[in-house]
């Protein structure tokens, strides 16, 4: 069985400082991993995804994540936070089961950016 | 492309009434997902379809919930009878595949059951 743990429910950073949103997963096989962002009153939008290619994945808006199999982590980072990054972020693991894929979402991390 | 379209955007109903949520996926996408989001439980996958066939409905809460996909361009999620604990935002998403492909989310339907 797979699971996703987002280690922080809320992260607060100052504008211009680095962002780190942490995600750990457990998976029986080789998973695909995603980060989605949800702005207030909006649907989710893909930031980036890992599907067994390069372990360092670059996404939109300057975000990137590194897949570390030994640590079972897929943390999301950005060098410099912008006010528009304030949103909720979801880490997702997808694993192929018996005849279908199983998708598991983390609980989400709400990012606040202080001017 | 118009993206994933959901209707209605907001629904207020009374306990015991039937509620039908609608979704039009992106043209050409062959997988469709229904999610429910609440403060208490976060984002939950209810059911997903591949090529109009339900593949995994293990997330559907109970028999009051049913979902159909009669063709590649339309899906419904029905709650009958509705209860106050069904109040949530319901999202529909579509993708080209089901496991490793990007999901594109609709704007959601905000349901309030009184």
What confidence tens digit (pLDDT) does each residue in A23-57 have?
999 987 778 899 999 998 888 999 999 987 788 99
What pLDDT, on a 0 to 100 scale, did the predictor assign at position A98? 62
Mean pLDDT of B81-96: 95
Tell me if residue A83 falls in helix, strand or coil: helix
Contacts of A4 in chain B (CB under 8 A): none
- Please, how many CA atoms are within 13 Å of residue A100, restricted to the half-sphere of its CB? 14
Worst-scoring range by mean pLDDT, A62-66, A74-78, B65-69, B102-106?
B102-106
Q: Do B93 and A44 touch (CB under 8 A)?
A: yes
Nearest CA in chain B to A90: B43
Contacts of A36 in chain B (CB under 8 A): 103
What confidence tens digit (pLDDT) does each residue in A76-106 have?
999 999 999 999 999 999 877 666 677 788 9
Contacts of A49 in chain B (CB under 8 A): 100, 102
Residue B99 pLDDT exceeds 70: no
Rounded Cα gap, residues B93 and A60, in angstroms: 20
Which of B40, B56, B103, B109 best probes binding to A when mutated, by most A CB atoms within 10 angstroms?
A: B103
CB of A96 within 8 Å of any CB in chain B? yes
What pLDDT, on a 0 to 100 scale, did the predictor assign at position B77? 98
- For B99, the closest of A45, A94, A107 (CB atoms) is A94
Within A15-99, strands assigned E span: 19-21, 23-26, 32-38, 44-50, 56-58, 64-68, 73-78, 87-96
What confidence tens digit (pLDDT) does each residue in A7-22 have?
999 999 999 999 999 9
Rounded Cα gap, residues B23 and B33, in angstroms: 10
What confidence tens digit (pLDDT) does each residue in A102-114 have?
778 899 999 999 9
What pLDDT, on a 0 to 100 scale, did the predictor assign at position A29? 75
Contact B51, B95 (CB under 8 A): no
H, E, C per residue of chain B: CCCCEEECCEEEECCCCCEEEEEECCCCCCEEEEEEEECCCEEEEEEEEECCEEEECCCCCCCCEEEEEEECCEEEEEECCCCHHHCEEEEEEEECCCCCCCCEECCCEEEEEC
Contacts of A9 in chain B (CB under 8 A): none
Rounded Cα gap, residues A42 and B51, in angstroms: 26
Q: Do A103 and B100 touch (CB under 8 A)?
A: no
Q: Which of A18, A7, A6 shows the shortest CA–CA distance to A90?
A: A6
């Amino acid at each position: 069985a797979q699971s996703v743990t987002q280690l922080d429910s809320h992260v607060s950073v100052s504008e211009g400082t680095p962002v780190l949103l942490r995600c750990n997963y457990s998976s029986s096989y080789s998973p695909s991993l995603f980060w989605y962002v949800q702005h207030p009153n909006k649907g989710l939008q893909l930031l980036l995804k890992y599907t067994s290619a390069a372990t360092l994945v670059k996404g939109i808006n300057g975000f990137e994540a590194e897949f570390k199999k030994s640590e079972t982590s897929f943390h999301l980072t950005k060098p410099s936070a912008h006010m528009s990054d304030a949103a909720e972020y979801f880490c997702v693991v997808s694993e192929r089961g018996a005849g279908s894929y199983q998708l598991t979402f983390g609980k989400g991390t709400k990012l606040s950016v202080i001017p | 492309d118009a993206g994933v379209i959901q209707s209605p955007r907001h629904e207020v109903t009374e306990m015991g009434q039937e509620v039908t949520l609608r979704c039009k996926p992106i043209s050409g996408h062959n997988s469709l997902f229904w999610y429910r989001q609440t403060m208490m439980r976060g984002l939950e996958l209810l059911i997903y379809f591949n090529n109009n066939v339900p593949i995994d409905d293990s997330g559907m809460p109970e028999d009051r919930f049913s979902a159909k996909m009669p063709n590649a361009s339309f899906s419904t999620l029905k709650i009958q009878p509705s209860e106050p604990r069904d109040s949530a935002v319901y999202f529909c998403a579509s993708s080209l595949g089901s496991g490793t492909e990007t999901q594109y989310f609709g704007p959601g339907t905000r349901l309030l059951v009184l």
